[in-house]
Amino acid sequence: MRQAMTSVAHGELIRASAWRAAVQRPAPPGGKVAFIGANNPETARMVRDVQVATGVEFIGYFDNDPDKKGRTFCGLPVFGGFDDLLGCDRTAFGLVNLITRDTKTRHETTRFFAENGFAAADFIHPSINLDGVTLGRGVYLQEGVIVQGGVVLGDNVCVNSGATISHETSLGTSCFVAPGATLAGLVTLEPGVLIGAGASVMPRLSLGTGTTVGAGAVITKDTTERSIMVGVPAVETGKTPDDEAFLPLFLDKM
């Protein structure tokens, strides 16, 4: 039994070492990370694995729900809301944005804290093979995501469990891919695209900025900006509000 446990631990160290070599991500300020949003218990499942792989310390949450302040969520403290966060030392920790309600809210929250001097940190499960993948800042990839070679993931991208991002596909700033979705090869998502749970996008297609794809939909043609796409094959049923501007997130890219 002890030999088996030692073998497992050795295997974990090898995988963690390979993950660090492939990712080569800069450490967050102070080697610590705080989360924005205390809602998804999947966070706790990932924290231990990411800490082992990276050595980063996860210190707690900031959430605007006043009932959560001073309590714990999945074993970590909730320090308070965004006003409390603005009073913190910017050099003490980086921020991981866990907000996934919609791409506009996620984008605007990350941009607000970037403009106020906070560094965006990644939250990427170490089981994901990132060899040959290009990553922006503040990327959130849950366990079980498949990312193939030549993929480009832009700033503030979030991909949920069981999703597949196929070869040479590009996701723009603040794109969100829900559980079980599949993007075939050479797909381009412009900034702010939301792919619903179990949806599929066929190869070599381009989805315009702010496009929303409903759960289970199958995209078989390019979309224009702000399209709402549902069905199999998917058809456009409307447009998202035209005030959803996905501006640059980080001051050095503006």
Q: Residues with catalytic annotation?
A: 167
What are the residues whose beta carbons fall under 8 Å from the beta carbon of 38, sequence distance 6 or more?
61, 62, 63, 65, 68, 73, 78, 98
